[in-house]
Amino acid sequence: MQFSAECLSCESSYRVTGIACGPDRLSVDWVDEGGTGHLEAGTADGVTYAGHYGYPQLDDHRRVRFTLFRSAAGELLFVGRWWNTADGGGGEWAFRLTPQPAVQA
């Protein structure tokens, strides 16, 4: 299924440039004032996702954890937080994925 995505964050403005969501992983690409970012998070239970993010490559010190909420309309909401084990920074982060109709050829 194809999704459009919106990043919801209080700290900064993110423009999602790519997103892939499967039964066991989430992958997001974005652009913000810090540059081009990427995150990868996996799940064992389909609800809690954990992984790393970085600019532009994944960084072991930059971590994420999300909880997935599903709407009856098929929207996916990943709500969680990010943190940096190297400098102690952190904050809230959320991504809303909206299903897009299949494109007919």
Global pTM? 0.86
- Give dist(CA 61, CA 56) in Å, integer: 14
Enumerate residues 6+ apart whose C-beta is below 8 A from 28.
5, 7, 16, 18, 19, 38, 39, 95
pLDDT attached to residue 11: 64
User: Could you report how far apart the first and last alpha carbons of the chain are, in Å?
Assistant: 16
Which domains are seen in the chain, by residue range?
A: 3-99 (2.40.128)
Which residue, chain included where needed, has tokens 């799940």?
43
Backbone phi, psi, residue 14, to 5°: -115, 135
Residue numbers of the chain with a pLDDT score lower than 70:
1, 9-13, 102-105
pLDDT attached to residue 26: 95
pLDDT attached to residue 5: 76
